Chains A and B, each alone.
Chain A
């Protein structure tokens, strides 16, 4: 997705619709969401429905967890989120349950929620904030923006500052580190990785890593094993089916000719720590940086 922000929400008619009809209310709070739409609330949001697991984490991290009344399947962090009412899966929302919760703010996911359903919710004049952080800085501003809407700005600001500080520290620590050529495996069958537009790739470069497939045109490209063998990464990093499943890495061990295998640089990072654009990304990135540091030591 090299075409920039206006291309990111291509085809989605949402960009033209205002977040909520302008009302003659004195103290409106407005923010700009990730689809470049202005979202305004007359009062701080008190009943929030988060339409992706990542959005749930962001809202909780912004200090508004107690205002979350609805979540989608697989919203497993923080653990309290699992206690909230489910509104279906992010690919197929149960709009009835969403509306029955009488939300005053929805946090949607542009590339995850069906556009038709989002449009429907907009037509019903439910305030909708579209969330899609693609940069570390956007994670921080998401915390600021969401906490602004929820009236928890102080808590959100704190979380955002903490996140920025952590990122800055990592950046400083690895600024002069020797680049390590890394292959990040998103999925195994089909084999999938990420390009440089992806947050994971940005996490890599923060740690002084270099994504061997960064130049591919698609955000989440499908590749073949041969491409990995040709690229010969120095380290292979994978998530997995679960939070502690290293099976995918084991599969690479049969390729002795891979530098990563010879040097035993097969690393596991729990997927929820690095695949979700939330403050926990910092934790996952720290883990990734440690792994890449280890790889440097095995030169």
Chain B
């Protein structure tokens, strides 16, 4: 008790190196983008790739890389980052590692609202705005209904989420059934996410950058919030406004991810879970790491989706679901 000298034990020195995970992940993220740009159904040799990246090379290769692969890889990265960090935020808000925008039906709500906006003839920002409202309503619905006495039990939360998601799924199918035939080919991706339909990476990437800046100063408060609202309040956190901000943010992130690439499953579940296994539970590490790792994972998954059975293309949602379902079942099994 009388120790005046700080004693650097294992855990306190471990606390010092939390920049390492992020540096590592930035390197991996860049590598994944390079892979995504380098691999496709057309084979481009590393030398040609290099000369294209240096601003020369075959015009066809330039088109393939700068017009097709790079925008799509960036869209994948942005979407993956948004979904992963949205998942991480929802998990803190619900104090439950099973929370995920897709599982809880938030993606579905955004998809329904975006689709409805498109069917009444709106476009552009109105579709995104509508998706945001859909995500907000959906989150509110799930959180409100699943809220038992003070805490969310996993069963109650998941049941509510699954039922709400099923409801949205039905509404999407309904709208696809009554919608004009011309609209159909581009609309199925609302059910199963697909980056082939993404129009541009910039909204997702821009929001991702803003998210990073906004979340970093909030991250420690989120650590406290994860211990429950009473404990957080007792430690000086303005719980209601923080919860409100996180709830709006998670919905916004989901909405932009959904309008970029449809409802991509399980990224928000798998990524934070894996990061926690490796680097612990400090949101100051987990949130930025989720952005990087989620982006990396979806970039690689989409590269697989493009090339696995090329020239046939898979929706990336298939790949993420194949990763996500076992992870989810494992988490659920362990949470008993």
Q: Which residues of A contact B (CB under 8 A)?
A: 1, 7-12, 73, 85-97, 99-100, 102, 110-117, 119-120, 123-124, 218-220, 222
Bound complex: CA of A88 vs CA of B41, how far in Å? 10
- List A contacts of B250 (CB < 8 A): none
How many contacts between A and B, using CB within 8 angstroms? 96
> Taking CB as reference atom, which chain B residue is nearest A90?
B185
> Taking CB as reference atom, which chain B residue is nearest A217?
B178
- List A contacts of B180 (CB < 8 A): 1, 7, 10-11
Kindly state the interface size class of chain B when it binds its partner: 20 to 34
Q: Distance (Å) between the CB of B195 and the closest chain A CB?
A: 10
> Taking CB as reference atom, which chain B residue is nearest A35?
B182
Q: Distance (Å) between the CB of A123 and the closest chain B CB?
A: 8
Q: A86-B311, A87-B311 are in contact. Are A117 and B196 (CB under 8 A)?
A: yes
Bound complex: CA of A113 vs CA of B68, how far in Å? 17
Chain B at the A interface: SS class: helix
Query: Is B181 in contact with A1, judged by CB distance below 8 angstroms?
Result: yes
Q: A94-B41, A95-B68 are in contact. Are A116 and B63 (CB under 8 A)?
A: no
Bound complex: CA of A92 vs CA of B40, how far in Å? 15
- List B contacts of A85 (CB < 8 A): 311
Q: A11-B121, A96-B42 are in contact. Are A110 and B197 (CB under 8 A)?
A: no
Query: Is A102 in contact with B60, judged by CB distance below 8 angstroms?
Result: yes
Query: Is B197 in contact with A117, judged by CB distance below 8 angstroms?
Result: yes
Partner of A116, one of B118, B196, B315: B196
Query: Is B182 in contact with A100, judged by CB distance below 8 angstroms?
Result: no
15 A-B contacts (beta carbon < 8 Å): A88-B313, A92-B194, A94-B41, A94-B306, A94-B311, A96-B69, A97-B311, A99-B42, A100-B42, A112-B185, A113-B185, A115-B186, A116-B196, A124-B63, A218-B181
Query: Is B181 in contact with A89, judged by CB distance below 8 angstroms?
Result: no
Q: A92-B196, A95-B68, A99-B68 are in contact. Are A12 and B182 (CB under 8 A)?
A: yes
- List B contacts of A90 (CB < 8 A): 185
Q: Mark B169-193, 1 if CB is under 8 A from A, else 0.
A: 0000000011011111110100000
Q: A117-B197, A124-B67 are in contact. Are A94 and B181 (CB under 8 A)?
A: no
- List A contacts of B41 (CB < 8 A): 94, 96-97, 100
- List A contacts of B196 (CB < 8 A): 92-93, 95, 114, 116-117
Query: Is A99 in contact with B60, judged by CB distance below 8 angstroms?
Result: yes
- List B contacts of A9 (CB < 8 A): 182
- List A contacts of B313 (CB < 8 A): 88-89, 92-94
> Taking CB as reference atom, which chain B residue is nearest A190?
B177
Bound complex: CA of A92 vs CA of B68, how far in Å? 14
- List B contacts of A11 (CB < 8 A): 118, 121, 180, 182-183
Q: Distance (Å) between the CB of B1 and the closest chain A CB?
A: 66
Task: For the complex of A and B, list the 4 residue pairs with the smallest distance between their C-beta atoms, beginning with the closest.
Answer: A94-B311, A92-B313, A100-B42, A116-B197
Q: Mark B138-150, 1 if CB is under 8 A from A, else 0.
A: 0000000000000
- List B contacts of A89 (CB < 8 A): 312-313
B285-325 contacts to A (CB < 8 Å)? 306, 310-315
Q: Distance (Å) between the CB of A92 and the closest chain B CB?
A: 4
Most buried by A among B184, B196, B306, B310: B196
> Taking CB as reference atom, which chain B residue is nearest A119?
B199
Q: Distance (Å) between the CB of A3 and the closest chain B CB?
A: 9
Q: Distance (Å) between the CB of B308 and the closest chain A CB?
A: 12
Query: Is A99 in contact with B311, judged by CB distance below 8 angstroms?
Result: no
Query: Is A111 in contact with B185, judged by CB distance below 8 angstroms?
Result: yes
B198 within 8 A of A: yes
> Taking CB as reference atom, which chain A residue is nearest B305?
A92
Query: Is B312 in contact with A73, judged by CB distance below 8 angstroms?
Result: yes
Query: Is B40 in contact with A96, judged by CB distance below 8 angstroms?
Result: yes
- List A contacts of B40 (CB < 8 A): 96
Partner of A99, one of B64, B181, B314: B64
Question: Besides A92-B313, A96-B69, A119-B199, 5 other CB < 8 A contacts?
Answer: A8-B182, A10-B183, A88-B313, A100-B64, A116-B197
Query: Is A97 in contact with B310, judged by CB distance below 8 angstroms?
Result: yes
Query: Is A114 in contact with B312, judged by CB distance below 8 angstroms?
Result: no
Q: A88-B312, A97-B41, A116-B198 are in contact. Are A111 and B63 (CB under 8 A)?
A: no
- List A contacts of B182 (CB < 8 A): 8-12, 110-111
